[in-house]
Amino acid sequence: MNISIDDIKNAKDHSLKINFENEIKDLSTDGVVKAELIFSAFGSYIQVKGQIVANVKLICDRCLKNFLKKIEVDVDETYILGSAKSAKGAHSGQEIELKDGDFITELHGEDGIDVEDLIYQSVTLNIPNPSVCDINCNGSPEMEKYIKKEISDPRLDVFKNLKIKKEGK
């Protein structure tokens, strides 16, 4: 699904709302990925805001079991038409404020934004690392040995007696 820049610019208030409910290529999910995205045009920038919800199939980094993780992403992305250099100053009156660390994607003259790609990138960036099936997962016997070895550092003794309550279970 490609959202045309012209469609965004020609939309009412230069703002286009998209409801996406589909599978995303290369993203293993339980059911469809749902997203509600608002594309807004500001001069030489396109801003995308909204939410993505996906039940992603992951493999636990401790016990290697498959598990599902609900990933919810608040989208706030900025695209610039052309390159960063040419956009700066070209529309000085319409520039939107770009704070430090804001993620900007250059479109290099492309005429649209690939929604599937945007969703794929947003979800994969929000998958926790390491991914663990449960906060109390002790892992497989082999991994347990490995973790025990790690924890033999006396400074980490405090964690041996630490029990973490399961959320709402």
> Is residue 68 close enough to count as binding Zn ion by CB under 5 A?
no
Amino acid identity of residue 6, one-letter, is D
Q: According to CB under 5 A, which residues from 38 to 67 bind Zn ion?
A: 60, 62-63
Q: Tell me how many residues contact Zn ion (CB under 5 A).
A: 5
Judged by DSSP in three states, 65 sits in coil
Residue 61 or 106 with smaller CB distance to Zn ion:
61
Rounded CA separation 41/33 (Å): 25
DSSP character for 31?
Answer: S
Shortest reach from residue 160's CB to Zn ion, in Å: 19
Of 48 and 71, which CB lies nearer to Zn ion in the complex structure?
Answer: 71
Q: Which of residues 131-150 bind Zn ion (CB under 5 A)?
A: 133, 137
**Encoding tokens for residue 76?**
């706030």
Among 52, 50, 69, 42, which residue's Cα sits nearest to residue 133?
69
Q: How far apart are CA 42 and CA 53, in angstroms?
A: 26
The residue (of 46 and 63) whose beta carbon lies closer to Zn ion is 63
CA atoms within 13 A on the CB side of 12: 1
Q: Which is nearer to Zn ion, 35 or 133 (CB)?
A: 133
- Judged by beta carbon, residue 66 or residue 94, the one nearer Zn ion is 66
Task: Work out how close the CB of 61 gets to Zn ion at its nearest, in angstroms, rounded to a whole number.
Answer: 8
Which of 76, 56, 74 is closest to 66 using CA atoms? 56
Q: How far is the CB of 131 from Zn ion (least distance, A)?
A: 9
Question: Running DSSP on this structure, what letter comes out for residue 164?
Answer: P
Question: Which chain residues interact with Zn ion by CB under 5 A?
Answer: 60, 62-63, 133, 137
